[in-house]
Chains A and B, each alone.
Chain A
Amino acid sequence: MTKKRSEGGFAARISAKYDLQPDMMLDGCHLELRGRSSLAVGGCRGIVEYSPIEITLRLRDSILKIAGEHLSCDSYTCGEVLISGRINILGFDDTKR
């Protein structure tokens, strides 16, 4: 089990072997940034903090922090978050909250 976990497990191996996108097999997150004004985050498990200057999202195994100005959550359904505004910083934190 320890070996599997270190290698990422069966799904990770399949994904690596067949060159599949990690979010498809590993239930990971998917980020799509368009310029600095729009960010789509897939695989979001919840919003930890929200303010117009900082949004904190909980992902499967990490925390995503988005800092910027006039940030807003345009849609938020089925784990898909669409954030708009002026995005300045994107950061991941492995500390689970």
Chain B
Amino acid sequence: MKLFAFLFGCRKISVPSDRGADLLNICMKYRYPYYEMGAYEDRTYIVCSPVIARRVCIKCGEMDIEAESGRLCGVPKYIGRFFSRPGLVLGLLIAVIMLVQVQDYVWDIRVSGYEGVDENEVIDGLYACGFYRGCSLDGFCADDVENLFLRRSENIGWISVNMKGTVAYVEVQKKNSPPKKDTLLPANVVAKRDGIILEALTYSGLRMVEKGEIVREGQLLISGAYGEKTPGLHVTRAAGRVSARTFRKISVEIPLEYEEKVESGRVFYEKYMIFFGNTIKVFSNSGNLGSSCDKIVEGKLYGFLGSSLPIGERVEKYVEYETVKRTRSREAAEALAKEELERQLSELCVEEIVSRSDAVDFRDGKCVVECDLTCIEDIAMTLEFTVNYEK
């Protein structure tokens, strides 16, 4: 098929072989151009434009020539097929509108120069300022966004938002905070728990306890105020390290009867489409949702060539469960209790565990593991105070 015929469409007109000459004479007489001609079996045909084909058919009818018109070929055929599908036409229309409209929205935010600053933190900060993937650029002012961001951010010292097309290029620099100065408020050092003093090291202030002394929680260990009231009281921020032997008791209880969630097998979904920052519900079968459900939310933005698009999906999954009462064996309960005890011990902030004794007991339907510990730890705790000056 010739290119011209393909682009503008063509139709095949065939007549019996013995009338082929008449067909050609019609073409010559009325100056009907055709793209191609040929013969097959017992018929002669020409290929011409749809308009010419219609005219040729009329002339053939006038001359008693049995002419058959073939199907439309070429681009008009595809256009005809396309327009016969309203969904495709609508889709194309929406795509064109989107192509025009999406230029007014932010498609992607790319953060750079954020050494030491989390990219997500920057994007979240911008979101709080009303600048996010999918937001409208109508009335957008980079200065306003930057100033608002800097006012709210604690870590970012400088930010620049540059729009290139629909992509926002954000450059940030971390705030170089001056070193934190020690507070000048006077303070005492007190005991944070009961214990027997093993060693007291004073950095500043006046030591109030001796080695071997028993102290109670809250007792003054190092005083920040010392001296006589006359001629003047010395006030300082007491500091030091007071190592003491302490006694702790940790108790872990594991019930023998417990409630367990058992999935009923019913799962409900709510699907949303994220479209330029808007969330649109597209599907839901959670109308008869029960009260006992675990909710699992998954969301993602689609990507294209390594960039995130402001289009994505969010799925909320509701897994229905029933609460079933179960009983665990004593051995299982004890093992669980010991496991929990070890976990708590690993989180203890002590210098050393000197001794430990465990006791397992079953009472009130529970497995109780009690652990008595003797530890060595720093019990110093700074407690600030204020000084009232007498006029």
Contacts and interface: CB of A to CB of B under 8 A. Distances in A.
Interface in A57-97: 72-79
Contact of A46 (B28, B36, B38): B28
B25 A72 contact: no
A86 B21 CA distance: 19
A16 interface: no
A47 interface: yes
10 closest cross-chain pairs (CB), A and B: A50-B20, A47-B21, A50-B21, A47-B24, A52-B39, A76-B28, A46-B25, A76-B24, A72-B38, A72-B37
A56 B25 CA distance: 12
B123 interface: no
A52 B24 CA distance: 13
A93 to B, nearest CB: 16
In this complex, the interface size class of chain A, counting residues with CB under 8 Å from chain B, is 10 to 19
Contacts of A52: 38-39
A77 B20 contact: no
Contacts of B28: 44, 46-47, 76-79
A19 to B, nearest CB: 31
Interface of A is mostly: strand
A51 B16 CA distance: 11
A56 B24 CA distance: 12
A44 B24 CA distance: 12
A48 interface: yes
A49 interface: yes
Contacts of B44: 50-51
Given A51-B17, A76-B27, A77-B28, 17 more contacts: A44-B28, A46-B21, A46-B25, A47-B21, A47-B24, A47-B25, A50-B17, A50-B20, A50-B21, A51-B20, A52-B38, A72-B38, A73-B24, A74-B36, A75-B34, A77-B31, A79-B28
Interface of A: 44, 46-52, 56, 72-79
23 contacts: A46-B21, A46-B28, A47-B21, A47-B24, A47-B28, A48-B21, A49-B21, A50-B17, A50-B21, A50-B24, A51-B20, A51-B39, A51-B44, A56-B21, A72-B39, A73-B24, A74-B36, A75-B34, A76-B27, A77-B31, A77-B33, A78-B28, A78-B31
A96 B167 CA distance: 81
B235 to A, nearest CB: 114
A48 B22 CA distance: 8
Contacts of B36: 74
A77 B27 CA distance: 7
Contact of B37 (A51, A74, A78): A74
Contacts of A78: 28, 31
Contacts of A56: 21
